[in-house]
A and B are shown apart, each in its own frame.
Chain A
Amino acid sequence: DQQVKQNSPSLSVQEGRISILNCDYTNSMFDYFLWYKKYPAEGPTFLISISSIKDKNEDGRFTVFLNKSAKHLSLHIVPSQPGDSAVYFCAASNSGNTPLVFGKGTRLSVIA
């Protein structure tokens, strides 16, 4: 059973607009969440993280929002750029004890 779900396999966004990628989790013990970005023929690379003591973390054009009551997090990219086109993986962990659990990924295409 998938503990981390990314229900949208793909997303297309116009350059300059906002991209919103969503992620849901089922394990209430998860308290640390990350987003990884993956280009073709490369391994995933860390993008941004958030701990459950926060509800928002921002890094430049990237912002992650966490809604603990809904067990939902989202990644906002604004403005979106063609170089952001990649597969984005959401991951979660019970920070003290368990390794990361990844979702299936969402393929983002930013159209110029």
Chain B
Amino acid sequence: DSGVTQTPKHLITATGQRVTLRCSPRSGDLSVYWYQQSLDQGLQFLIQYYNGEERAKGNILERFSAQQFPDLHSELNLSSLELGDSALYFCASSVGGTSDEQYFGPGTRLTVT
């Protein structure tokens, strides 16, 4: 158990809908990262937050947004869902930034039908 929690574990929804994925980092970690793993692609970095502020942005679509709240938990919002958004979404946390180990949560499996 990494200490990072993600909810829900599984999510099934229809195209065009909007969902919110939630991540709680390990106690004391200030950074939260979001990743997407699709069947046909490897692990893709989406976005990083550090202590409530956006730190780095990767291959995140405009239909997706994220935020980190004062209690340091983070939410990833996915809207206007498409079939291709079906993937495993991981959250990871670290104490600080670049040179710190990241601890991954168990992931949320999103299926868009």
Real complex partners, A and B?
Answer: no
Chain B interface residues toward A at CB < 8 A: none
